């Protein structure tokens, strides 16, 4: 159950008869358009029976009794379950309510009603592409597997802890792109140009940077009170990386206030990469 002690907080319920990934992504995208909203996201995936919907309705109503009205985002393929969910004290936004009938009318087809068809394995070839891309990202993470860089579509570079690994994993899972990443460590500062390992792959490089104080905070969580997390070291690492990007004409992005989704979409667009999986 959700704690209802903070009456000013808006609880955002994500309810689905499958993974809830689609509804959650839509909810975050929509709510992020409004500044200053204190939110708590509550995921309820695999709500695929009347009994489970009843339990979620009771939970939503319980929150509504002690807090601001909850907002509920849902993706049900079964109209009966969606109708049952509508009978709550929350604001229920069914992503399929209007859009699915409109698309069906345009296509002249009836939806299959298969639960979770978008996030299922579906086409085995596309599923294998995703697995291969994730395996490649793990195999070439943090400067490993440089002998496989000739297969890479993309090589992310930057100082340690600027977001290279999560960006690679997201890009591999969502787009099927072969993405490696290479850390620019302090030993590289003595080199006049790119580390020799990266020279043959200049056209695949993309840099990530971050505000030094944010990097300092991140590194302190990993290795507190160490030279690695010292603010001056963080500032030096960022400055050197940005000078390298500029001098070698490597496009780069500041990740300080960007979500992983925005980082990935920007990289895909600026590098002209094409999604391999739907």
What's the rounded Cα separation, in Å, for the pair 201 and 179? 12
- Cβ neighbours of 262 (radius 10 Å): 13
The alpha carbon dihedral of 128, 134, 138, 139 has a sign of: positive
Burial class (CB in 10 A: 0-12, 13-18, 19+), 123: exposed
Residues 21, 71, single domain; the answer is: yes
Q: Write down the mean pLDDT value for the chain.
A: 88
What pLDDT digit, counting tens, does each position of 1-29 carry? Answer: 565 445 568 999 999 988 787 788 888 87
- Give the mean pLDDT of 98-111: 76
277 in a structural domain: no
The pLDDT of residue 270 is: 94
The pLDDT of residue 190 is: 66
119 in a structural domain: no
The pLDDT of residue 3 is: 55
Higher pLDDT, residue 78 or 12 = 12
133 in a structural domain: yes
What's the DSSP call for residue 20? Answer: -
96 in a structural domain: yes
The pLDDT of residue 31 is: 86
Q: Which of 107, 133, 164 is the last residue of a domain?
A: 107
Q: Which of 107, 142, 164 is the last residue of a domain?
A: 107
CA distances from 84 to 23, 58, 66, 71 (A): 18, 12, 22, 16
Residues 102, 23, single domain; the answer is: yes
Give the domain extent around 215.
124-270
The pLDDT of residue 107 is: 81
Residues 186, 264, single domain; the answer is: yes
Residues 255, 141, single domain; the answer is: yes
180 in a structural domain: yes
Residues contacting residue 53 through CB under 8 Å, at least 6 positions apart? 47, 81, 84, 85
Residues 157, 21, single domain; the answer is: no
Residues 138, 231, single domain; the answer is: yes
Q: Which of 53, 78, 107 is the last residue of a domain?
A: 107
Residues 145, 232, single domain; the answer is: yes
The pLDDT of residue 115 is: 52
Which residue, among 135, 174, 177, 176, has the nearest Cα to 156 in the 3D structure? 177
Q: Does the structure show a pLDDT above 90 at 129?
A: no
The pLDDT of residue 34 is: 86
2 in a structural domain: no
Structural domains of the chain, count: 2
Residues 90, 131, single domain; the answer is: no
Residues 148, 207, single domain; the answer is: yes
- Give the mean pLDDT of 55-82: 93
Q: Does the structure show a pLDDT above 60 at 117?
A: no
146 in a structural domain: yes
* Buried-exposed string 57-83: b where 16+ CB fall within 10 A, e elsewhere: bebbeebbeebeebbbbbbbbbeebbe
What's the rounded Cα separation, in Å, for the pair 268 and 257? 18
Higher pLDDT, residue 186 or 164 = 164
Give the confidence band of 123 by pLDDT, cuts at 50, 70, 90: low
The alpha carbon dihedral of 220, 221, 223, 225 has a sign of: positive
CA distances from 58 to 1, 3, 79, 170 (A): 10, 14, 19, 35
Residues 89/61, Cβ–Cβ less than 8 Å: yes
Give the confidence band of 188 by pLDDT, cuts at 50, 70, 90: confident
Residues 102, 137, single domain; the answer is: no
Residues 228/219, Cβ–Cβ less than 8 Å: yes
pTM of the model: 0.65
Residues 152, 237, single domain; the answer is: yes
Least confident span in 119-133, 161-175, 184-198, 215-229 = 119-133
CATH number at residue 94: 3.40.50
Residues 68, 152, single domain; the answer is: no
Higher pLDDT, residue 219 or 2 = 219
- Give the mean pLDDT of 155-177: 94
232 in a structural domain: yes
Kindly write down the DSSP assignment for every residue of 114-125, as one continuous string.
-TTTTTS--SHH
Higher pLDDT, residue 109 or 155 = 155
């Amino acid at each position: 159950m959700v704690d209802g002690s903070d009456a000013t907080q808006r609880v955002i319920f994500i309810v689905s008869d499958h993974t809830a990934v689609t509804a959650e992504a839509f909810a975050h995208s929509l709510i992020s358009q409004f500044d200053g909203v204190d939110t708590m996201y509550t995921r309820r995936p695999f709500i695929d029976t009347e009994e489970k919907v009843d339990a979620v309705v009771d939970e939503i109503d319980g929150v509504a009794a002690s807090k601001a009205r909850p907002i509920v985002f849902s993706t049900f393929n079964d109209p009966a379950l969606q109708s049952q969910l509508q009978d709550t004290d929350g604001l229920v936004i069914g992503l399929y309510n209007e859009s699915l009938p409109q698309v069906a009318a345009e296509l002249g087809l009836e939806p299959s009603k298969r639960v979770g068809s978008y996030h299922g394995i579906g086409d085995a070839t596309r599923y294998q592409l995703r697995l291969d891309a994730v395996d490649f990202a793990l195999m070439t993470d943090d400067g490993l597997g440089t002998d496989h860089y000739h297969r890479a579509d993309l090589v992310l570079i930057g100082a340690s802890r600027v977001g290279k690994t999560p960006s690679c994993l997201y890009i591999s899972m969502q787009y099927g792109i072969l993405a490696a990443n290479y850390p620019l460590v302090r030993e590289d500062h003595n080199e006049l140009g790119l580390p020799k390992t990266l020279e043959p792959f200049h056209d695949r490089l993309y840099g990530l940077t971050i505000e030094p104080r944010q990097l300092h905070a991140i590194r302190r969580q990993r290795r507190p009170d160490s030279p690695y997390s010292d603010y001056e070291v963080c500032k030096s690492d960022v400055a050197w990386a940005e000078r390298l990007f500029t001098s070698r004409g490597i496009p780069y992005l500041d990740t300080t206030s960007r979500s992983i989704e925005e980082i990935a979409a920007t990289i895909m667009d600026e590098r002209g990469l094409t999604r391999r999986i739907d």
